[in-house]
Homo-oligomer: A and B are copies of this chain.
Amino acid sequence: MKRILIEVAYDGTGYCGWQIQPNGLTVEAVLNQTLSDFLKEDIRIIGASRTDSGVHAMGNIAVFDTNTTIPSDRICYAVNPFLPEDIRIISSGEVEKDFHPRKVRSEKTYEYHIQNTPIPYPTISRYAHCITPVLDVEAMQQAGEYLVGTHDFKSFCASGSQAVTTVRTVTGLKIYTKEIGKGREIIIEIKGEGFLYNMVRIISGTLIKAGLGIYPPEHVAEILKAENRKAAGETMPAKGLVLKKIDILHRGEEENVSAKAP
């Protein structure tokens, strides 16, 4: 029996998120079914991030135990032809038997994509939320800087969360733009070791309000202080969110081992 770490990429449009649901197709359910059928074992994967319905991923990670004799780094190539085209295992490799993707320290990188154009371009719309008024990106960047570091993010946590503490650390927040047609795409990149429920989408909604001039960048400090979900901006739609990668920071004695190897 060996434990395999897989990196998983998916277009979340057609899925009710990662985690198995009684009603509705999920990425976890498809992976369990396909891996079980292919390996002829009862495979139950453990995912690192239970992304919400409609959220995309380029590098979510998960583990499962198997007795297969297929070389660990070839499992991805062997299984992919049996997965639907909107899910792909990007890499596979053996890890320690006690490696648990939610218990290991890791840094997650999310991106929220905004199509800032007068009229949405259909080829961009599938993976970006459209905001038509011109956003002040500099104000958004300034607003974002108040969120970097360790704070109580209670204002940025959707109700219904079962988190024990709402203190989290945002290790980086950058905003990139690229020209598209008559406007641009604005990408909010957020890194951190852990995020609260809907936190990235609420941060994005808050930065968009700063970008619209509804409040000045420094108001974000007040929002943090309020510790009240109502103080922050709206939860932006799922389709603009993508989990880019998860870097393992600490695994047993090792430091900075990337989950992306091999």
A positions within 8 Å CB-CB of B: 9-11, 56, 58-59, 76-77, 80, 85-91, 118-123, 125-127, 180-182, 242, 245, 260
CA distance A127 to B58 in the complex (A): 15
CA distance A228 to B16 in the complex (A): 51
Inter-chain pairs besides A58-B121, A80-B119, 11 sampled, C-beta below 8 Å: A10-B122, A11-B125, A59-B181, A76-B119, A85-B122, A88-B119, A88-B121, A90-B118, A123-B242, A126-B126, A182-B260
Q: Are B9 and A181 in contact (CB under 8 A)?
A: yes
Decide yes or no: A89 and B119 within 8 Å by CB, A58-B181, A180-B58, A182-B260 being known contacts: yes
Other-chain contact of A11, B56, B80, B126, B182 (Cβ < 8 Å): B126
- Closest B residue, CB atoms, query A8: B122
The count of identical subunits is: 2
CA distance A153 to B222 in the complex (A): 64
Q: Which residues of B contact A121 (CB under 8 A)?
A: 9, 58, 88, 90
CA distance A119 to B58 in the complex (A): 11
Q: Which residues of B contact A181 (CB under 8 A)?
A: 9, 58-59, 90, 245
CA distance A181 to B189 in the complex (A): 14
Most buried by B among A118, A122, A182: A122
CA distance A9 to B115 in the complex (A): 14
21 A-B contact pairs sorted by A residue (CB < 8 Å): A9-B122, A9-B123, A9-B181, A10-B122, A11-B123, A56-B123, A58-B123, A58-B180, A76-B119, A80-B119, A85-B125, A86-B122, A87-B122, A88-B119, A88-B121, A89-B119, A90-B118, A90-B119, A91-B119, A91-B182, A182-B260
Q: Which residues of B contact A80 (CB under 8 A)?
A: 119
Q: Which residues of B contact A120 (CB under 8 A)?
A: 88
CA distance A248 to B10 in the complex (A): 40
CA distance A148 to B56 in the complex (A): 39
CA distance A11 to B91 in the complex (A): 30
Shortest CB-to-CB span from A92 to chain B, Å, is 10
- Closest B residue, CB atoms, query A130: B88
CA distance A120 to B89 in the complex (A): 9
